[in-house]
Structure 1
């Protein structure tokens, strides 16, 4: 039986400190049917030298070194997709790392359930030095239809927190729209929604991926400027227009964002907060009531988790 080919895309920008660990944990996977595409977005550190030191490895199929920064992680992803020859694709972010059996575990699951478009593992959270911030101890496998996955896990956030934790079908990818590449912060969430619409989603609850947290995050800057909320509003409109948000779910999701807007403490200025609030407020009736509905739901969920 032919082993499916996995295309591993490693997009990098100024992560020289972590790059060898990232590349080595890819090249030493127990599952061996893969090609590697390394994309550097005009790094200013010594990433280029590290990348080129791997150019003769037989798994490396493409190295692309940008002469100008693209300004978009998601445009880099798309460049990798265009070069990919695999049946499945894994975006292995350059500052993360993983267990050496990650691919084997994910491929085993996605082959069991041929209608699946995505399979992902839980992620341990580690700091810049690789020390645990949050260690995941869950076990088991959850298989959910794409629509149910979106409604359960993607309306008030992003269940696939880290692209490095997932592989997905290239065939499913070919049916997805490309407008996520225009986003600066929330494009990954829209990307996973589009993919989930193409089939089942498998969650391997055991953590085999290590998601590195840095002191400065692009997403926090997006929140300060309001960009994250503007992009989330576009996703909210998409979910609403495609029948994922209706009834109490619509009010709860709207309430979540009204609550979240009020909990960002360091906007660039007060006008940014007002502008974002004014954008979100008319999207659903009873905005204040929606916010308190979400707060009650949040308290209830935490109590359920305790027991």
Structure 2
């Protein structure tokens, strides 16, 4: 395979402030950069200006053809703060997933995250997220999202993108867990909103080579192992413009979404999940069947169960829960409350009760 890295540059950091506790998580941020010269300086500064400093910033420029590299160099020149900065300059474009994988392979932190080069963090993002994370073990977390236009101005409240986001959050609020909400919609919005443990990344594997849904695919694979942590207040600024994937539509949506859903359904068909709240027929024997027969995933108007039957047409190889009629077709006149699922209720109460 062609070696993609032209050179790898590192800026040494000064000693970190004494106020940082020695047991604090080490956070590594990866920025994959490609032809975002007008935006990347804001992205970099938003990492370096956190009120809870991160430990490491890794910028991977994926052979940009605009002025991105010059902007990157100017932005980090003279920086003497607590963040260790590395820059990988690639001599061949390999795509976002490859740039992300390279950056994460160079990361030394135990908490990993990505920032797309046209987006920006809120100044208190990592302080808020660290406060919400479990004290130990693997995790994946994301926050609410604010939206800006090409110039960096906040989108109006009646903008279609903001209206869409309010709608999907409202639908998420009707779900019993974050995991169920994610099966309906990618409420994380973007890979740049994900913070995850190194151990979880090593367990789940890298981001897939999808254009439309590599973030959603990664999220739902992760929730087989851990229940995602959602901080609803917005601490990520997502830029909407003509070339980003949130506004992109087309043939990729259904194909990639279906492939990602098939991967998830195949994973949960193997048996018990590490995450006892994961949306599976074993964890939620009543509610899961109703949910999948009633609600559609983001990429189609058909219920999850209908899509699943299309993905697994052979009765001999399809997941066991598809072998019998249930859900809306099985006689639910009204939506069963998750509390009707005694097994699920015991799990929820057991996980939420203080120890």
With the shorter chain as reference, the TM-score category is 0.7 to 0.9
After TM superposition, give the deviation of residue 5 of structure 1 in Å. 1.3
Instruction: Rate the CA distance shift 1:88–1:230 in 2: closer, same or farther, 3 A.
Output: same
1:165-204 equivalent positions in 2, closer than 5 A: 165-178=193-206, 180-204=207-231
Partner of 1:271: none
**Whose RCO is larger (CA < 8 A, sep 6+)?**
1
Shift of 1:55: 5.2
Aligned twin of 1:4: 25
Structure 1 unaligned spans of 5+: 139-146, 262-275, 291-295, 298-307
1:46 to partner: Cα distance: 0.5
Structure with the bigger percentage of strand: 1
Query: Which structure has greater helix proportion?
Result: 1
In the alignment, structure 1 residue 250 sits paired with structure 2 residue 292: yes
Residues 70-115 of structure 1: CA distance to partner in whole angstroms, max 9, x if unpaired? 1x212211111100000111211111112211111112222x5434
Q: Is the 8 A contact 2:178 2:229 kept in 1?
A: no
8 Å Cα contact 1:125/1:212 also seen in 2:
yes
2:122 paired with 1:93: no
2:284 paired with 1:259: no
Aligned residue pairs: how many?
A: 261
C-alpha contact 2:144 2:232 (8 A) present in aligned 1: yes
CA contact (8 A) 1:155 1:239 kept: no
Aligned partner of 1:127 among 149, 162, 165: 149
Normalising by structure 1, we get a TM-score of 0.73
Q: How far off its partner does 1:148 sit?
A: 4.6
User: 1:103-252 alignment to 2 at 5 Å?
Assistant: 103-110=126-133, 112-115=134-137, 117-133=139-155, 148-150=177-179, 152-178=180-206, 180-218=207-245, 221=248, 223-224=249-250, 226-241=251-266, 242-243=268-269, 244=280, 247-252=289-294
Partner Cα distance (2:298, 2:190) in 1? 22
Structure 1 or 2, whichever has the larger Rg, is 2
Once the 2 structures are TM-superposed, how far is the Cα of residue 62 of structure 1 from its aligned partner? 1.6
| Structure 2 residue runs without a partner (length 5+) | 1-20, 167-175, 270-279, 282-287, 315-321, 329-333, 336-355
Q: What is the CA–CA distance in structure 2 between the aligned matches of 1:213 and 1:133, rounded to whole Å?
A: 9
CA distance in 2, matches of 1:260, 1:55: 52
1:102 aligns with 2:143: no
Task: Find out whether 1:63 has 2:87 as its counterpart.
Answer: yes
**Cα deviation 1:111-163 (Å, max 9, x = unaligned):** x543451222101111111222266899xxxxxxxx9533x122222121123
RMSD: 3.4
Question: After alignment, is 79-88 or 169-178 more displaced?
Answer: 169-178
SS of residue matched to 1:237? helix
In 1: Cα distance, 2:229 partner to 2:300 partner? 31
Asked if structure 2 preserves the Cα contact closer than 8 Å seen for 1:240 and 1:250, the reply is no
* Conserved 8 A contact 1:115-1:199: no
- Cα–Cα, structure 1 residues 256 and 161, in superposed 2: closer, same or farther, change >3 Å? closer
- Give me the whole-angstrom Cα distance separating, in 2, the residues matched to 1:234 and 1:129: 35
Indicate how the Cα distance of structure 1 residues 4 and 132 shifts in structure 2: closer, same or farther if over 3 A, else same.
Answer: same
Distance between the aligned counterparts of 1:30 and 1:199, measured in 2? 28
Are the aligned partners of 2:140 and 2:229 in contact in 1 as well (CA < 8 Å)? yes
**Structure 2 residue aligned with 1:143:** none
